[in-house]
């Protein structure tokens, strides 16, 4: 697959598996899974320039994605995070790190410290495994992000579930402000 096709295919995968499976006439179960062969056929129909698409192309994208955005298991495919769909992802909740990180604007940081983190345009709060990952994620949206540190043990102790969704991404429904602190020199 050419770099251009790979980029286009990645965008299609993200859109369909995170936001609009119905636009490709795909049935998605409550955990976000679609049949891989049906996904391939739907892409071939909707985007004719992908007439060559095979399972091996899908496997290559899933296996080489550095962020672990997708899973391919028993002939089924799904995105692991960044959904706007209401799903029950059933991701691992054990062996979480002691701390997770969240990038935000300086203006929003005080609001989050007071009121906590809640999902914005996605269904879950997305946290990063390292300060550097949070900064990298934040720079895509915010020029100079501030990084907040979440005390995972305290969050889980208060009954909030945290799930590992990708290589460096963790998800939760919300995090109360009392479990967050602003890191110095976040930029």
- Which structural domains are found in the chain, ordered by start? 3-79 (1.10.10.970), 99-182 (3.20.170.30)
As to burial, measured by CB atoms within 10 angstroms (0-12 exposed, 13-18 middle, 19+ buried), residue 72 is middle
The residue with tokens 């602003």 is 182
Residue 186: the pLDDT is: 56
The residues, ordered by sequence, that sit 6+ positions from 44 with a Cβ below 8 Å of its Cβ are 50, 51, 53
- pLDDT per residue rounded down to tens, the chain (187 residues): 788 888 899 899 999 999 999 999 999 999 999 999 999 999 999 999 999 999 999 999 999 888 889 999 999 999 999 899 888 888 889 999 999 999 999 989 999 999 999 988 788 999 999 999 999 988 888 888 999 999 999 999 999 999 999 899 999 999 999 999 999 875 5
Q: What is the pTM of this model?
A: 0.86
For residue 170, the surrounding DSSP H or E stretch is strand 169-172
């Amino acid at each position: 697959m050419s770099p251009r096709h790979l980029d286009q295919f990645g965008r299609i995968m993200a859109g369909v598996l995170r936001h609009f499976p119905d636009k490709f006439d795909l049935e998605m179960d409550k955990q976000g899974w679609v049949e891989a062969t049906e996904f391939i056929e739907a892409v071939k129909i909707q985007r004719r320039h992908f007439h060559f698409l095979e399972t091996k192309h899908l496997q290559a994208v899933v296996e080489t994605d550095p962020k672990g955005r997708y899973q391919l298991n028993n002939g089924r495919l799904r995105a692991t995070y960044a959904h706007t769909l209401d799903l029950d992802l059933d991701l691992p909740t054990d062996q979480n790190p002691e701390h997770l990180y969240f990038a935000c604007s300086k203006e929003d940081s005080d609001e989050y410290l007071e009121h906590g983190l809640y999902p914005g345009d996605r269904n879950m709060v997305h946290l990063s495994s390292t300060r550097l990952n949070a900064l990298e994620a934040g720079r895509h949206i915010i020029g100079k992000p501030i990084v907040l540190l979440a005390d995972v043990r305290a969050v889980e102790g208060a009954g909030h579930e945290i799930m590992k969704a990708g290589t460096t991404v963790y998800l939760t429904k919300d995090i109360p402000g009392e479990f967050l602190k602003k890191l110095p020199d976040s930029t």
